[in-house]
Structure 1
Amino acid sequence: MGTFQIEGGHRLSGEIQPQGAKNEALQILCAVLLTSEKIRITNIPDILDVNKLIRLLKNLGVKVNHEDKGSYTFQSDELDLDYLSSEQFKIDGSGLRGSIMIVGPLLARFGKGYIPRPGGDKIGRRRLDTHFEGFIKLGAKFRYNKEERFYGVEAPAEGLKGDYMLLEEASVTGTANIVMAAVLAKGTTTIYNAACEPYLQQLCKMLNSMGAKISGVGSNLLTIEGVSELGGCEHRVLPDMVEIGSWIGLAAMTRSEITIKNVNWEMLGLIPNTFRKLGITVEKSGDDIHIPAHTEGYEVQNFIDGSIMNISDAPWPGFTPDLLSIILVVATQARGSILVHQKMFESRLFFVDKLIDMGAKIILCDPHRATVIGHDFKSKLKATTMSSPDIRAGISLLIAALSAKGTSVIHNIEQIDRGYEDIDKRLKAIGAKIERIA
């Protein structure tokens, strides 16, 4: 189990380049299974979750060539489908939640797809029903081995057939999986209440460049005209908007002047304005974000009627749930109070006990809501020893430690490494005192 040792209380300065988007990369990588032709993808982040999926694809027989930093080619012309019934696949697939998205492409191209129950963050229930209900609407037969916790879908002899479906929830990975299955189905598929996050938009754009016919991209109503085959393409992964939000929070909490480079502003949605609600100055400079040093702190806005600021998550174009933990940490040093409402996951706020140990004033109202009373930097957080429970809580605790007085220790940093590339090296480059000691 890896460990970070952080000496907090130092101001940072300089420029930082966001990595490629983790959540987009996991979808895009699964899409390479839809064609036998070569696909080139750039700006792939070098993080644990993505590297696990690349290893799984290699074990499945995908020809993977690492050309340069973040740049790969993939060719799925000689796959070993027997791997799907192997013990190794059970190990590889169960260790990564993103592995669920190989099922749609395999079902579309080969008529069958299997996956062990996938792992991932322990942030509450994340049902897979949307994925499989979508496949069933396309004509697939669903199988589940309860003893081995193994899922499977098989297409009928005549192949998948397009249909109309209204998704029960706007699941990002569920929508991605269904779209990848539908692009090779016969006829027209209409998906209402589809997710429309930038990651999903990027996937649809990539598939269209491969020859798919998807319309309504960016909306919650997708129409897919099935085609007989797809070809190769080149695709570049967006900068990671969750990491961009993390750096905004880091700059505010450490009262540092930081420039975040090449952020792709048009894909950030509500992120800049949500941080502005906490009183943080977020300046647009070309395609960069500049955060000046908040030497006088930052003050939370109130609603027009004077009531306490409430920041909650929602499916896109709402505020992403992946940044609520950052908002919560940043609020601990704000001037004023906020209510953080985590609507989409019931276990994501349970890391607040660690912040309370550091001296934060937080009332956990229930599994979904926390009230934060800011210190206004009049009382610094105290250094402590803690363990990272998941990716987003982990980066939030790291930001808290960088702002705290004294030396903190964070264990289980593999959780942070799952989502953030070379984070200690990049933080050192802007002045952070952080060491990877195990």
Structure 2
Amino acid sequence: MDRFIIEGGYPLQGTVTPSGNKNAALPILAATLLTDQEVVIRNLPQIKDVETMLEILAHLGVKIHRLGDKELALRARNVRSTEIDPQLTRRIRASILLSGPLLARCGGISLPPPGGDVIGRRRLDTHLMALRSLGAQIEVGSRYEMRTTGLVGREIFLDEASVTGTENALMAACLAQGTTIIRNAASEPHVQDLARFLNQLGGKISGLGSNTLVVEGVDGLHGGEYEIEPDHIEVGSFIACAAVTGGELLIRNGKPEHLKMILFVFRRLGIEVEVRGNDLFVPRHTSLKVVADAHGAIPKIDDAPWPGFPADLMSIAIVVATQAEGTVLFFEKLYESRMFFVDKLIAMGARLILCDPHRVVVVGPARLHGEIMESPDIRAGMALVVAALCAEGQSV
């Protein structure tokens, strides 16, 4: 499906269970290359990126058996190729995550430039630096040609807290000789999920949830079973949908411990969420009001590496602010093109000022009306869905 037709103005009500975290599923699938034993993965999200990653793995020789809609058994007994098909890599940026596992397992990979959403400059230098530190020789041309005669653990300081850069280093270090210390590591829930998966298969990773990860290299990983944790970005999206439409929503297995900063930011936008054990309840909101800073100053909401507010929820938070009484400054620090979707909101009736590629001021509340729109990226697309749900009339 390449379009949605949405009739706005109806409150969302009911009970939902979030999908498994896409950003955990993709590196976990890549990590199955590290063992020749069978691995069973549960709670896989049913999305195109996962299907593309499975196509790549099948091309490399991984045997895949579907055990259910969200459950797979995979076995990489024989990896028959380390050359990745460019037709597949251009469809998914996460193809870069194959580098660490294939270097560790097979001693090399020939990788075309990865594709994916265009939301700003998304450099790969952190990946290359980390893998070179572990002993990989890398030539950058029309493809990334990576080779090693053996990975050796060492201390790595990442120049940025890159999620996928951290994940590549983790996977490569699992089978490296000796100890690897990764400093300035990303600590997002999906990085922790990958580390737990690797430990389940016999890896020795400590420091989960912190910015320093210690990996004791092992001779090999065994098989096992693992269930992917729920997607905190999807949970945040459901909360926003319920709040802006005036609905009531119960979110099962929402993993509240991953939502502290998300719930804090939503409270600043007037959204109250009840935590009920491992579930969350969004009560009916008749109106939203921005909580001003001291002395009535305009609050600033910005994104940051974990445990800061996730960049992937900035677009949705902007939509929520269009429905809240008050003024908010949003500062997008990580991606310089992510704010450019706001012209769609202006066309719907939102009152916004795009200050520069990183900052936008939102003055609410505004009555939005339906529009025909085109989404520039997946996160903007979800934000436009939220906007369409609370708008008057039909949106496409």
Give, in whole Å, the separation in 2 of the partners of 1:79 and 1:268.
Answer: 39
* Cα 1:384/1:208, change in 2 over 3 Å: same
Q: Shift in Å at residue 114 of structure 1? A: 2.3
1:139 deviates by: 1.2
- Alignment match, 2:147: 154
Summarize deviations over 1:353-398 as a string: whole Å, max 9, x none.
00000000010010000000011xxx52011101111111001101
Note the alpha carbon deviations across 1:331-355, whole angstroms, 9 max, x for none.
Answer: 0010111111100000001000000
Q: Which one-letter code corresponds to 1:281 in the other structure?
A: E
Match of 2:100 in 1: 104
Given residue 61 of structure 2, which amino acid in structure 1 is its aligned partner? G
Aligned residue for 1:293? 284
Matched AA of 2:311: P
> Residue 6 of structure 1 aligns with which residue?
6
Please name the residue that 1:422 is paired with.
Answer: none
The amino acid that maps onto 1:180 is M
Q: Does 1:60 align with 2:60?
A: yes
* Matched-pair contact (CA < 8 Å) for 2:12–2:241: no
AA of the residue aligned to 2:201 = M
3-state DSSP class of the match of 1:3?
Answer: coil
> CA shift at 1:12, angstroms?
2.1
Would you say 1:141 and 2:134 are equivalent positions? no
For residue 286 of structure 1, report the CA deviation from its aligned partner.
Answer: 2.1
Spell out structure 1 runs of 4+ moving beyond 6 A.
Answer: none
How far does the alpha carbon of each residue in 1:262-308 deviate from its partner, in whole angstroms, 9 at most, with x for none? 1111222311111111111111122111111111x011111234311
Mapping of residues 37-436 of structure 1, within 5 Å: 37-81=37-81, 84=83, 89-145=85-141, 149-156=142-149, 159-295=150-286, 297-375=287-365, 379-409=366-396
List per-residue Cα deviations over 1:218-269 (Å, max 9, x = no partner): 1111111111111111111111110110111111111111111111112223
Q: Which stretches in structure 2 are left out of the alignment for 5+ residues? A: none
Distance of 2:166 and 2:110 partners within structure 1: 18
Q: Whole-Å Cα distance in 2 between the matches of residues 121 and 66 of structure 1?
A: 28
Q: Percent identity, aligned pairs only?
A: 49
Question: Shift of the alpha carbon at 1:215?
Answer: 1.3
Contact kept, 8 Å, 1:135 with 1:153, in 2: the verdict is: no
Aligned-partner SS, 2:214: strand
Q: TM-score, normalised by structure 1?
A: 0.89
Displacement of 1:69 = 1.8
Aligned to 1:35: 35
Counterparts of 2:301 and 2:38 in 1: how far apart (Å)? Answer: 44
1:205, 1:408 → 2: CA distance?
42
Task: Check whether the contact 1:18–1:239 (CA below 8 A) recurs between aligned residues.
Answer: yes
- After TM superposition, the score normalised by the length of structure 2 is 0.98
Amino acid at match of 1:256: G
C-alpha distance in 2, partners of 1:289/1:117? 40
Give the AA of the match of 2:364: G
Q: CA deviation at 1:189?
A: 0.9
Q: Larger relative contact order (C-alpha < 8 A, sep ≥ 6)?
A: 1
> How many aligned positions are there?
396
User: CA–CA distance in 2 between the matches of 1:184 and 1:22?
Assistant: 25
Letter of the 2:392 partner, please give it.
K
How far is the alpha carbon of 1:36 from its aligned partner? Answer: 0.1
Cα distance in structure 2, aligned partners of 1:115 and 1:401:
39
> 1 CA distance for matches of 2:278 and 2:198?
26
Instruction: Note the residue ranges of structure 1 that are not aligned, 5 or more in a row.
Output: 410-438
Amino acid at match of 1:139: G
CA distance in 2, matches of 1:305, 1:222: 42
d(CA) in 2 for partners of 1:205 and 1:401? 38
User: Deviations along 1:389-417, whole A, 9 cap, x unmatched?
Assistant: 111100110111111111111xxxxxxxx
Please tell me the residue identity of whatever aligns with 2:63. Answer: K
Check the 8 A contact 1:163/1:190 in 2, yes or no.
yes
State how far apart, in whole Å, the 1-side matches of 2:317 and 2:214 are: 36
**Displacement of 1:11:** 1.6
